[in-house]
Amino acid sequence: MKKRMVWLLVIGSLAAFLCSCSGKNKEEADTAIEELEKESVMWEARTPDISQIRSICELATLECYYHNVAKSVKEKGKGLSHIGEKERIFWIEYSGVARFGINVSKVTMESEGTEILITIPKAELLGLSDHTFAEGSYISSDDGFNKNPITSENQTEAVAAAEEDIRNMFAKDDAILSKAQDNAKKLIENYIRQLGQLSDVEYEITWNYEENIPKEEGDK
């Protein structure tokens, strides 16, 4: 008989969540900016380039470390073959890394003289990774005649359900998304400023935010 799994909410509505923003990629980004500055000396036209700006956005990521608990119940089966089984409760404590950044394909640039208009999208969650499972995980005992084992598949599904809650939460976290977007803006501004110093030109940057651009008729 197919066992029905009931996925419960993450303990305390993700109250166990801890987020620590990391500057792990800052050194890589700074190094990339330095390389761009060196390369720019060789350019005949020392003007901002959209491909370089998009490359910078790929480096301008924000990483947040989180701690979470996935809780689930595996119900006992029904029918004679499941006599003696008992409901099993288990939870899994783990940590992970959430990575935020800009969709570089949506970054555009328009320039007229020293005036530059850059369109940049809102940052988004790029992925969850580096899962580390803690020793604090728990599985209730099973002393029935017929066992109702918690399988690795059950545990994987529980974590997947909890991760979906994490994704939904991050998608609504305007503070983190704004921080990731600001990181990209600062690196782009620094790139253009350094380029202007090499060219003895003072560029004026205007930011256009993709989420504020009216959609044309027929767009969803």
For 45-90, the DSSP string reads S----HHHHHHHHHH--EEEEEEEEEEEEEPPP-SGGGTT---EEE
Is 176 domain-assigned?
A: yes
For residue 103, give its domain range: 5-209
Could you give the number of structural domains in the chain?
Answer: 1
Length of the chain: 220
Tens-place pLDDT, residues 86-127: 778 788 899 999 999 999 999 999 999 999 999 999 999 999
In a domain, 132, yes or no: yes
Does residue 156 lie in a domain region? yes
Angstrom distance (rounded) from CA 93 to CA 220: 39
Per residue in 126-171, pLDDT (tens digit) is 999 988 887 667 776 666 666 777 788 888 888 899 999 999 999 9
pTM beyond 0.75, yes or no: no
Domain for residue 217, yes or no? no
77 within domain boundaries: yes
Whether 126 contacts 170, CB under 8 Å: no
What Å distances lie between residue 68 and 5, 65, 100, 189, CA to CA? Answer: 20, 10, 18, 36
Q: Are 108 and 184 in contact (CB under 8 A)?
A: no
Side chain identity at 162, as an amino acid letter?
A
